[in-house]
C-alpha cells in the first residue's frame, strides 16, 4: 500500500472514530441528564405527598388529585409500606400495561415518617416521545458537514502527496538504473528534494561520463595515434595477432601504405601542412574501409598506414589494392609534390594460422617491390595456392545456403566459459556452422556475409532463434546457461524481436535466465539507442546481456553503467600474450575499473596458455574462454 493510501486510511479512520465517539458520548450524556431531571421530578412528587400526609388528608382526598399528578409525572405504580406492612398497593393503576423491565424503580424514606417507605415505579424518560427529522436536523447537518470536510481534506492531501509519490517513484527508477529517472516529473514535491535529486543525478551522470572518458583516455594513450586519432602500432600488433589466430577468419588481406615524401612536405611547408595532409589521408582510408565488414586501419609509423581486411580472397585483395590506389590519387598535395610518386602500397594475402613474423616479412618485401616501381602504385605478394578458398560465385553460395535452409542442416558448435577456478562452467557460447560442398565445416564469419549478399540473412536468423528456443527447452532448467551472438539486424527488427520475446515469455523464468545474449561492442556503439532498447527488453524478460569484442577499438564505455550489462568479453587481441605486454595489462585494468560501479563481470576470450590465464586471474577477470579450457565441439539438437 502506498504511503498516501496509508495516510488517508489512517486519517479517515481517526476522524470517523472521533465522530462516532462524540455521538456515543452525547447519547450517554443526554441519558444521564434525562434521568437526573426525571429523578428531580419524582423528588417533587414525594415532597408533595409528604406535605399532604402532614395535613392528615384522608384517602378520599388523595383520590381526587393524586392520580393526575402521578400520571403527569410518569409514575405507573405507587406502594406505601410501614414496617413491612403495605398500606397502599397500586394506588394508581395505569390504563396501559408496562413490563417491569422497562420501568424505573425509586425508593424513598419519608423524613418526618421514618417508618414509612414509598416505592415508586415510573416510565422511562422520553419513552412516549417520537423523534422526527426536525429535531435531528442539527446533529445530522453537523455530521454531513464533517464528512464533507473530511472528503475535501482527503482530496487535498492526496493532491499534495501525489508529488511525494512521484518523487518516490523516481527514486525507485534511480535504484533500478532506469534512464527516465534523469528527468524530473511534473508535480514532484517537495520541490527542494526534487531539485536536490536533479542535481545529484546530474553529478552522478557527469561522474560516470568522466570515469568512462578517463578510462577511454587511458586506453587511447596506449592504442591511438596522437596526431590522427586512429589506431597505432600496438593496436595493429594486437589485431594482426588476433586475426591470424582466429579459426573463423579463413584468409585476410593486409595493405601497408607508405608515404615516402611526407617528411619532405614538413621540411618545405612546415608541420601545419603535414598535419593537414595526415588528416586528409586518414579521412580517405577511413572512407575506403567502410566498404568492408570489420576492417582495421591505423598509423604504424610517421609515414606508414595499414589497412587489415578479414575474410578476403586473393583475387579480392588485388581489386582492393587497385581501388585504394585510385582513391589515394585524389590527395590534394602542394604543387611541388607530384602525386604520381608520393605513396606506395604493399599488399599481403595470408591465411589462418600463419605466423605474424612471416606475414610482416612478406609485407616488407611487397613494400620494397612497390617502392622500386618508382610511381605511386601497389604490389601484391605472390601466395601459394591453398585448399581453403573464399572465392565462390554468388550462385554457388545461394545454392548451398538454400539447401542448408530447406534441409534444416544448420549446425551448432559450443565452447565452454570457465570461472576463475578453471573448473566451474559459467555458460557455453554457441556458434552456427554449415557443411560445404567438400564436406568442410564453414564458420559463421564466412557464410553469413554471403547469406546477407544472397538475401537469406533473415531466414538464417530465424532458424538460429528457433534452434536456441528448442535447445533451452531440451536442456532443461537445471542445465548451464547458453549464449548466442545476435546481429544488429535481428535486434533492430521490431517485428522479429516482438516474436522472439513472445516465444521467450512462453518459457519459465528459470529457462529464460539460462539464455545469454551477446552483441559486439562496435555494433552497440554504432546503433546505440535501437540496440539499447532491444537489450533492455531482453533483460526485462530474464535474459542476461554480454558485450563481446570489447577493447577492439577505443570507445567510450558509458554503456556499462547506462544499463545493466552482465558480462564484458575482452577482444582476443588484448588477451594474446598479455603476460608479456604491459600495455595490454593496463588496458584490461582500465576496462575492469569501468565496471566497478556496475554488476558487469569481465571475461577474457582467446586464452591459449596458462601464462596468459595466470596473468588475467591476477588482474581480476571473472571468467575465461579459449583453447586452454576447451575447443568448439558440435552440439546435437
Domains identified in the chain and CATH numbers: 3-122 (no CATH), 233-380 (3.30.70.270), 410-635 (3.20.20.450)
Q: How far apart are CA 346 and CA 253, in angstroms?
A: 11
Q: How far apart are CA 290 and CA 257, in angstroms?
A: 17
pLDDT tens readout for residues 468-508:
999 999 999 899 999 999 988 899 999 999 999 999 999 99
With cut-offs at 50, 70 and 90, classify the pLDDT of residue 563: confident
Pairing of strands 601-605, 567-570: parallel
pLDDT tens readout for residues 147-203:
899 889 888 888 878 888 888 888 887 777 666 676 777 777 778 888 888 888 777
> Can you give the pTM of this predicted structure?
0.69
Omega of the bond leading into 190 within 30 degrees of 0 (cis):
yes
CB–CB of 434/456 below 8 Å?
Answer: no
More confident residue, 570 or 125: 570
The pLDDT assigned to 393 comes to 60
pLDDT tens readout for residues 86-110:
776 664 544 456 677 778 888 888 8
Q: Does the pLDDT of residue 467 top 80, yes or no?
A: yes
pLDDT tens readout for residues 11-38:
889 989 998 999 899 889 988 888 888 8
With cut-offs at 50, 70 and 90, classify the pLDDT of residue 386: very low
At 217, is the secondary structure helix, strand, or coil?
helix
The pLDDT assigned to 385 comes to 46
pLDDT tens readout for residues 109-150:
887 778 888 888 888 877 666 666 777 788 888 888 988 998
Within a 13 Å sphere around the CA of 348, how many CA atoms are in the beta-carbon half? 26
User: Which of 289-303, 371-385, 588-602 is least confident?
Assistant: 371-385
Percent of the chain scoring above 70 in pLDDT: 92
The pLDDT assigned to 389 comes to 47
Q: How far apart are CA 244 and CA 247, in angstroms?
A: 8
DSSP state of 626: S
The pLDDT assigned to 517 comes to 95
What mean pLDDT comes out for the span 62-77? 79
The pLDDT assigned to 620 comes to 93
Count of beta carbons in the 10 Å neighbourhood of residue 268: 13
DSSP state of 224: B
Q: Who's near 223: CB < 8 A, 6+ residues apart?
A: 231, 232, 234, 235, 238, 554, 583, 587
Q: How far apart are CA 310 and CA 291, in angstroms?
A: 12
436-445: long-range pairs with CB below 8 Å, 24+: 436/400, 437/396, 437/400, 440/388, 441/411, 443/247, 443/248, 443/250, 444/248, 445/248, 445/249, 445/310, 445/311
Amino acid at each position: 500500500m502506498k504511503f498516501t493510501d496509508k495516510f488517508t486510511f489512517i486519517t479517515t479512520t481517526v476522524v470517523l472514530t472521533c465522530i462516532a465517539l462524540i455521538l456515543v458520548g452525547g447519547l450517554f450524556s443526554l441519558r444521564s441528564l434525562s434521568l437526573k431531571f426525571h429523578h428531580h421530578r419524582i423528588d417533587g412528587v414525594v415532597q408533595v405527598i409528604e406535605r399532604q400526609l402532614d395535613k392528615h388528608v384522608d384517602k378520599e382526598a388523595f383520590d381526587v388529585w393524586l392520580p393526575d399528578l402521578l400520571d403527569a409525572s410518569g409514575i405507573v405504580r405507587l406502594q406505601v409500606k410501614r414496617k413491612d406492612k403495605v398500606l397502599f398497593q397500586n394506588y394508581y393503576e395505569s390504563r396501559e400495561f408496562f413490563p417491569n423491565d422497562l420501568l424505573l424503580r425509586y425508593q424513598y424514606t419519608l423524613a418526618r415518617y421514618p417508618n414509612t417507605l414509598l416505592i415508586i415505579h415510573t416510565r422511562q424518560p422520553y419513552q412516549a416521545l417520537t423523534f422526527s427529522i426536525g429535531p435531528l436536523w442539527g446533529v445530522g447537518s453537523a455530521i454531513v458537514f464533517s464528512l464533507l470536510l473530511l472528503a475535501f481534506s482527503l482530496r487535498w492531501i492526496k493532491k499534495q502527496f501525489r508529488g511525494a509519490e512521484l518523487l518516490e517513484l523516481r527514486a525507485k527508477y534511480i535504484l533500478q538504473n532506469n534512464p527516465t529517472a534523469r528527468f524530473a516529473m511534473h508535480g514532484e514535491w517537495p520541490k527542494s528534494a526534487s531539485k536536490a535529486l536533479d542535481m545529484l543525478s546530474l553529478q552522478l551522470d557527469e561522474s560516470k561520463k568522466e570515469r568512462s572518458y578517463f578510462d577511454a583516455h587511458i586506453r587511447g594513450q596506449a592504442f591511438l595515434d596522437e596526431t590522427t586519432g586512429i589506431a597505432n602500432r600496438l593496436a595493429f600488433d594486437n589485431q594482426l595477432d588476433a586475426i591470424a589466430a582466429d579459426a573463423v577468419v579463413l584468409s585476410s588481406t593486409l595493405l601497408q601504405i607508405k608515404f615516402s615524401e611526407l617528411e619532405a612536405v614538413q621540411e618545405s611547408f612546415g608541420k601545419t601542412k603535414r598535419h593537414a595532409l595526415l588528416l586528409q589521408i586518414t579521412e580517405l582510408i577511413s572512407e575506403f574501409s567502410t566498404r568492408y565488414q570489420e576492417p582495421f586501419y591505423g598509423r604504424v609509423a610517421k609515414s606508414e598506414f595499414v589497412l587489415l581486411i578479414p575474410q578476403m580472397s586473393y583475387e579480392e585483395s588485388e581489386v582492393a589494392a587497385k581501388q585504394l590506389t585510385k582513391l589515394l590519387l585524389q590527395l590534394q598535395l602542394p604543387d611541388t609534390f607530384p602525386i604520381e610518386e608520393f605513396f606506395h602500397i604493399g599488399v599481403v594475402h595470408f591465411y589462418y594460422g600463419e605466423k605474424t613474423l612471416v606475414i610482416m616479412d612478406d609485407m616488407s618485401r611487397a613494400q620494397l617491390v612497390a617502392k622500386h616501381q618508382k610511381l605511386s602504385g601497389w604490389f601484391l605478394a605472390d601466395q601459394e595456392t591453398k585448399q581453403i578458398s573464399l572465392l565462390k560465385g554468388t550462385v554457388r553460395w545461394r545454392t548451398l545456403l538454400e539447401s542448408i535452409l530447406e534441409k534444416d542442416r544448420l549446425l551448432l558448435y559450443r565452447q565452454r566459459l570457465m570461472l576463475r577456478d578453471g573448473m566451474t562452467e559459467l555458460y557455453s557460447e554457441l556458434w552456427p556452422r554449415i557443411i560445404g560442398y567438400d564436406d568442410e565445416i564453414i564458420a559463421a564469419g564466412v557464410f553469413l556475409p554471403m547469406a546477407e549478399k544472397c538475401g537469406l540473412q533473415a531466414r538464417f536468423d530465424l532458424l538460429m532463434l528457433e534452434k536456441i528456443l528448442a535447445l533451452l527447452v531440451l536442456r532443461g532448467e537445471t542445465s548451464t546457461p547458453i549464449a548466442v551472438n545476435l546481429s544488429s539486424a535481428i535486434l533492430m527488427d521490431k517485428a522479429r524481436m516482438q516474436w522472439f520475446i513472445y516465444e521467450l515469455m512462453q518459457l519459465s523464468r528459470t529457462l529464460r535466465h539460462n539464455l545469454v545474449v551477446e552483441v559486439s561492442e562496435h555494433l552497440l556503439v554504432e546503433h546505440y539507442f535501437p540496440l539499447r532498447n532491444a537489450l533492455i527488453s531482453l533483460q526485462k524478460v530474464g535474459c542476461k546481456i554480454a558485450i563481446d569484442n570489447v577493447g577492439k577499438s577505443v570507445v567510450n564505455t558509458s554503456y556499462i553503467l547506462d544499463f545493466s550489462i552482465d558480462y564484458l568479453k575482452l577482444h582476443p587481441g588484448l588477451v594474446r600474450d598479455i603476460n608479456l605486454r604491459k600495455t595490454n595489462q593496463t588496458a584490461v585494468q582500465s576496462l575492469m575499473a569501468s565496471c566497478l560501479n556496475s554488476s558487469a563481470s569481465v571475461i577474457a576470450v582467446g586464452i591459449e596458455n596458462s601464462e596468459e590465464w595466470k596473468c588475467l586471474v591476477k588482474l581480476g577477470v571473472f571468467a575465461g574462454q579459449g583453447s586452454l579450457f576447451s575447443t568448439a565441439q558440435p552440439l546435437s539438437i
